[in-house]
Amino acid sequence: MYLPSFQYLAPKDTGELASLLSDHGDKARILSGGTDLLVQMKSPGLRPDFVIDISGLDELSGINFDAKTGLVIGSAAKLDDIMEMPVVKEKYFALWQSIETIGARQIRTMGSLGGNICNASPAADTPPALVALSAEVSIAGAKGDRVMPVEEFIRGNRQTALKKGEYLKSITLPVPEKNSGSAYHHFRVRGGMEIAMVAVAVQVVLEKNNKTIKDASIALGVVGPTPIRADDAAKILVGQKPSEDLLQTVSQACADISKPIDDFRASAEYRKEILQVLVEEAFDEAYIQVAGDSK
Ligand X SMILES: Cc1cc2nc3c(=O)[nH]c(=O)nc-3n(C[C@H](O)[C@H](O)[C@H](O)COP(=O)(O)OP(=O)(O)OC[C@H]3O[C@@H](n4cnc5c(N)ncnc54)[C@H](O)[C@@H]3O)c2cc1C
SS3 content of the chain, % helix, strand, coil (to 5): 35, 25, 40
Between 227 and 260, name the residue whose CB sits nearer to ligand X.
227
Stretch that binds ligand X, among 119-127, 203-211, 233-241, 286-294 (CB under 6 A): 119-127
109's contact among ligand X, other proteins, none, with CB below 5 to 8 A by partner kind, is other proteins
Stretch that binds other proteins, among 161-169, 185-193, 243-251, 261-269 (CB under 8 A): 185-193
| Residue 51 sits in the site that holds other proteins (CB under 8 A) | yes
Q: Do residues 221 and 229 lie in contact, with contact meaning Cβ atoms separated by under 8 Å?
A: no
Choosing from 35, 180, 251, 276, the residue that interacts with other proteins (CB under 8 A) is 35
| Residue 86 sits in the site that holds other proteins (CB under 8 A) | no
- Please tell me what DSSP assigns to residue 112: B
231 vs 244: CA distance, rounded Å? 20
Q: In the complex, what is the shortest distance from the CB of residue 275 to ligand X, in angstroms, rounded to a whole number? A: 18
14's contact among other proteins, ligand X, none, with CB below 5 to 8 A by partner kind, is none
Q: In the complex, what is the shortest distance from the CB of residue 285 to ligand X, in angstroms, rounded to a whole number? A: 20
218: Cα separation from own chain's centroid: 13
What is the C-alpha end-to-end distance of the chain, expressed in Å? 53
Q: In the complex, what is the shortest distance from the CB of residue 32 to other proteins, in angstroms, rounded to a whole number? A: 11
Choosing from 11, 34, 174, 225, the residue that interacts with ligand X (CB under 6 A) is 34
Kindly write down the DSSP assignment for every residue of 185-223, as one continuous string.
Answer: EEE-SSSSSS--SEEEEEEEEE-TTS--EEEEEEEEESS
3 state SS for 48-101:
CCEEEECCCCHHHCCEEEECCCEEEEECCCEHHHHHCCHHHHHHCHHHHHHHHC
118's contact among other proteins, ligand X, none, with CB below 5 to 8 A by partner kind, is ligand X
| Residue 10 sits in the site that holds other proteins (CB under 8 A) | yes
102's contact among ligand X, other proteins, none, with CB below 5 to 8 A by partner kind, is ligand X
| Residue 35 sits in the site that holds ligand X (CB under 6 A) | yes
Relative orientation angle of helices 268-291 and 244-257, to the nearest 10 degrees = 140
| Residue 32 sits in the site that holds ligand X (CB under 6 A) | yes
Q: In the complex, what is the shortest distance from the CB of residue 270 to ligand X, in angstroms, rounded to a whole number? A: 20
Q: Which residues contact 277 (CB under 8 A, 6 or more apart)?
A: 251
| Residue 196 sits in the site that holds other proteins (CB under 8 A) | no
Q: Which residue ranges make up the site for other proteins (CB under 8 A)?
A: 1-8, 10, 31, 34-35, 38-39, 42-43, 51, 53, 55-56, 80, 103-107, 109-110, 191-193
